[in-house]
Chains A and B, each alone.
Chain A
Amino acid sequence: MDQTSRMINGAEAMATAFILAGVRIAYTFPITPQSEVMDYFAEQSGFTCINADSEYNVLAGAEGVLWSGQRCAVATASQGLILMSELMWEVSGNRLPLVMGVFNRGLKGPGWCLGSQHNDSLFMRDTGWLQFYCESAQEILDMVLIGFRLAERIQLPVMIAGDGFYLSHEREEVLVPSAAQAETFVGKRDASDMPLSRPPASYGGLVPPQKYYALFRQMHRDVEGSLEVFQEVSAEFEATFGRRYDPVEEADCDGADIVLISAGTISGTIRKALADAGNSGHKVGFLKLRAFRPFPLRQLRRAMLKGKKVAVLDRSLALGVGGIFGSELRTVFTNQPESRPLFSFVAGLGGLDVTPGMVTQLIDYVARTDSPPEGALFLTEAGIEE
């Protein structure tokens, strides 16, 4: 394996991955905690880094690059991402295989927020973009490479998300593939479907309703179908680089008292808490949700049914409903003969630290509570509140 071990942060891992994927142009706009990605692009020679006047135009510019048959790097966070929201639909609806990096950061609700929270990328839940949540800088690098393969095969845009600061700014050991390995894996972009100037045609103009309906339905089917494609691509990645990326990562779920589900960097905290507890406490299995779109419904159900209770820990909040993963995961049992009590926890909003101690609290609470409350449970160092 011709991979180099480097101590780099997630921002550099992300930028490095884009470059390894053969990208030579980036549309950028600074926003914390993504700006480090932009800095890295700006320092590269033989690379065009175009600073747009807003994230909206970042995406508009990137769209143009894709229409011209090239790959383009785009990364953003928080307000920058939601400023792109109108064009997000256009990119997916026109089936442009853009890959975007997102470092999650809280949105400006009550005030500006820099810390990590998943509401920004989850705001794009229904856009037709595929979404993957990462736990480490290594995962970010690898998922960007997988993302290009996936995007260009299914012709849908892909978003690779990692928690801001926890991943963007913290260094860790990352195995970086060689340029040749990466090029072999990602391949050249086949742009033979891109528009030519003659004969003239309009793309994405006003669609008659029936056609609109049909195209949307097709997009829905392709998002569903992308799960299988992701698994194929990720299997190939594993064969090449030795790291495995399943839509859902499962650990110790068989016969567990509690199946605990989370995504992103909280996964590491959970692993640590479970390892520290060892065999002393309750039997807890862990499910890490990597692919949110496509939604790995069957894999989730299978794994969730292996335990007696299910607990979901979210770093996001759908106001008036609860944690966003939590509310999506409730659908897993809909119309099923078998189901499990599901506890939905919200923690770490605005980048508030989620500690192993909090995970232990959560486990204790679920273990001693027979039926979960209807709404969300708010988990802080101080305790658990409905």
Chain B
Amino acid sequence: MSDEILTPEEILSRRFVSSANSVQIVTGFQRYERPVYDHDAKFAPCRAGCPTGHDIATALFLLSQGRPELAHEVFRADSPFPAVTGRVCYHPCESVCNRGSHDQPLAINALERALAEYGPLAPEAPAPIQSDKTVGVIGAGPAGIACAYHVRRLGYAVTVYEANELPGGVLQYGIPPYRLPREVLARELTSLRKVGLEFRLGTRIGEHIGFGELRQKHEALFVAVGLGRPRALDVVAGSMDCVDSGVAFLRAVSEGAAKRVSGTIAVIGGGDVAVDAARSARRLGATRVTLCCLESRRDMPAHAEEVEAALREGIEIINGVVPTAVEGGPAKAVVTLARVRNVGRRPDGSMKWSLSSGTLEPLPAARVLCCLGQEPDCQFLPAECWENGRVAVDAFGQTRLPGVFAGGDLVGLYNVVNALGSAKRAVVGIDSYLRGADSGQALPSIRLGDQGAFSMEAYRQWRAGAENLPSATEQVEVADINLDYFPKAPRPHLPRLHESQQDGSFSEVNLTLVEMQALAEAKRCFHCGLCNMCGNCLVFCPDSSVLPRDDWGFDIDLDHCKGCGVCVEECPRDAMSMVPEHEVRDDGSDQPHD
């Protein structure tokens, strides 16, 4: 302080002077938490709830952007025929849709159908064969086709053995055409043949080719022959022509061989086959169709939408009853019904109940269709494979025979989408078996939730040796969604064939959403956990630290982000999270960097 006055240099040294601009001046060191785009670590509940793990959020985003063909591809990554599942799937995804707790769940099933209809796929060349090992699939039902499809896309030659003359199983011979037009199925089968699926039709195992021979021929087998033998009604007096199984009836319907019926038709059973048979009988001219089932209306195994459609079509349903006798002549039967209580199910899937007091009017019927479920009709698998009347498998479809896998109804997973899911899991089992790998190893990288869903694309990447595959560990809940961005809006009205056109016709009842309707509904999707580049993070960032990438997504400018978290708060769909800085810092230190 001896100088008269501080020199300019001395004064400058006492000020903070910087020639750097606001980009050069880094401020990120103030951050204790970091925003991350961790959508890879998150999954929507619909995806976890879908047995075959469709990436619905991504597909619906693409559809909402007017790209149904890309959405179609997203669906095809996880299952073989969206045009079919878009019609026949009972969409467990919709019941877990986050939008359901806000207003109404997305019409995912109708949208799957719409994107398949409006976004035809470009012809796909068969995937190159990358292995000298081959896979044999026994049964060309949904599970068999799904297994063959995924296995083929992984680069294995695959042959599907089918006893019937046409592939499709229940899709071909069970589900009536008013639910699944056969031209839709044919179209999907054509496209599956183009990707390299080879069918050996009219080939019954044990008759045309031996099981042992197949095991010699293929390194791995997938058995999905379904349940071929309908349970008989044990109260029928002798052999009666007018009593038939619903399965046989539906097969005749499917083949166009069913004769016109008249008078009253009694349908025994409460499952989907029963409802299909009842509605088909109605179309074939029955004046009255009465469906008698053990379960209460609420507990009927048939899907509620199908039951409602049956009621709309004038089908009468008597719940909580059991036929105690079916008597009468060759052309006419009388069904005696009794009330039941304590209805339950045995481990093998058959029903149990106890009779209740009280009598009911006998039901006279021109025909009685028995829809009491089916049993396996599969002689070639040795006894050791069976447990409680079904083939026992592990989480990846492996039976107790090395190299033999199984899925679908045969392992006790009913309905189409469950069959697709079981086949998909078996594909991981088969591929791991053929590569001599442990099928469980991939699980952390591909699993979506704890219900068995996984991403086939993630599996392909994992298999190709991709490192650092993010594990999707967090299911997005509705509490994670910023509902301020989603005004309440109803589901669209799902179009149906006018009732005047339904009578006596097997024309498809449910119609495809018109394209604009589908786009609008896809836009209603929260896209839970999916960054759809809405740009809210960029708009709200007070530090201009959100940088859009050239192609897709955003980066955080960590030199300037102060970790305020506004971006995460304003992300409508939980595609971002705040992570404590010490958890993401490269050196693992607790201290924010300078």
A contact residues vs B (CB 8 Å cutoff): 93-95, 152-155, 190, 192-193, 195, 199-212, 215, 218-219, 222, 225, 228-229
Contact = CB atoms under 8 A, between A and B. Distances in A.
Interface stretch (B19-27, B258-266, B287-295, B527-535): B19-27
A204 B17 CA distance: 6
19 contacts: A94-B15, A94-B16, A154-B6, A155-B6, A155-B14, A192-B8, A201-B17, A201-B19, A202-B20, A202-B21, A202-B25, A203-B15, A203-B16, A207-B16, A208-B594, A212-B16, A215-B15, A215-B16, A218-B13
B555 to A, nearest CB: 22
Interface of B: 1, 4-6, 8, 11-21, 25, 27, 29, 594
B14 A222 contact: yes
Which among B6, B15, B16, B27 has the greatest number of chain A C-beta atoms within 10 A?
B16
Given A199-B19, A208-B594, A190 B14 contact: no
B1 A95 contact: no
A201 B19 CA distance: 4
A86 B530 CA distance: 44
Contacts of A219: 14
B5 A215 contact: no
Among A201, A206, A211, the one with the most B-chain Cβ atoms within 10 Å of its Cβ is A206
A154 B29 CA distance: 33
Contact of A202 (B12, B13, B18, B27): B18
A97 to B, nearest CB: 9
Contacts, number: 60
A193 B11 contact: yes
Contact of B18 (A93, A153, A201, A215): A201
Given A94-B16, A202-B18, 13 more contacts: A94-B15, A154-B6, A199-B19, A200-B19, A202-B17, A202-B21, A203-B15, A204-B15, A208-B594, A209-B29, A210-B594, A211-B16, A212-B16
A95 B14 contact: yes
B192 to A, nearest CB: 62
Contacts of B20: 202
A190 B8 CA distance: 9
B1 A225 contact: yes
Contact of A206 (B6, B17, B27): B27
Nearest to A194: B8
A208 B12 CA distance: 17
Given A95-B11, A208-B594, A153 B6 contact: yes
A195 B13 CA distance: 13
A93 B6 CA distance: 16
A22 to B, nearest CB: 16
A286 to B, nearest CB: 30
Given A205-B25, A208-B29, A229-B1, A218 B14 contact: yes
Nearest to A233: B4
B560 to A, nearest CB: 10
Given A205-B25, A206-B27, A208-B594, A193 B18 contact: no
Contact of A204 (B8, B12, B13, B16): B16
B5 A153 contact: yes
B482 to A, nearest CB: 30
B16 A193 contact: no
A201 B13 CA distance: 14
A64 to B, nearest CB: 16
A199 B29 CA distance: 27
A201 B16 CA distance: 10
A252 B54 CA distance: 95
Contacts of B8: 192-193
Nearest to B594: A208
Nearest to A203: B17
Contact of A153 (B4, B16, B594): B4
Contacts of A210: 594
B594 to A, nearest CB: 7
A199 to B, nearest CB: 6
Contacts of A204: 15-16
B24 to A, nearest CB: 10
B254 to A, nearest CB: 74
B9 to A, nearest CB: 8
A217 to B, nearest CB: 11
Given A95-B11, A155-B11, A205 B5 contact: no
Contacts of B12: 193
Most B CB atoms within 10 A — which of A203, A205, A211?
A: A205
A206 B26 CA distance: 9
Which are the 4 A-B pairs with shortest beta-carbon distances?
Answer: A193-B8, A193-B11, A201-B19, A192-B8
Given A201-B18, A203-B16, A215-B16, A228 B1 contact: yes
B16 A205 contact: yes
Nearest to A191: B8
Contact of B14 (A200, A207, A215): A215
Contacts of B1: 154, 225, 228-229
Nearest to A226: B1
A215 B16 CA distance: 8
Contact of B5 (A190, A202, A203, A208): A190
Contacts of A211: 16
Contacts of B17: 195, 201-203
A228 B3 CA distance: 12
Contacts of A153: 4-6
A42 to B, nearest CB: 32
Nearest to B27: A206
Contact of B25 (A152, A206, A209, A222): A206
A154 B8 CA distance: 11
B18 to A, nearest CB: 5
Given A152-B5, A153-B5, A229-B1, A205 B18 contact: yes
Nearest to B11: A193
B3 to A, nearest CB: 8
Interface centre among B8, B11, B25, B594 (most CB of A within 10 A): B11
Contacts of B29: 208-209
Contacts of A228: 1
Contacts of A190: 5
A207 to B, nearest CB: 5
Contacts of A201: 17-19
A190 B14 CA distance: 16
Nearest to A94: B15
A137 to B, nearest CB: 29
Contacts of B25: 202, 205-206
Contacts of A199: 19
A210 B16 CA distance: 12
Q: Which of B6, B14, B27: most chain A Cβ within 10 A?
A: B14
A204 B13 CA distance: 12
Nearest to B8: A193
B74 to A, nearest CB: 45
Nearest to A232: B1
Nearest to A190: B5
Contacts of B16: 93-94, 203-205, 207, 211-212, 215
Contacts of B13: 218
B558 to A, nearest CB: 16
A95 B1 CA distance: 16
A234 B16 CA distance: 30
A188 to B, nearest CB: 11
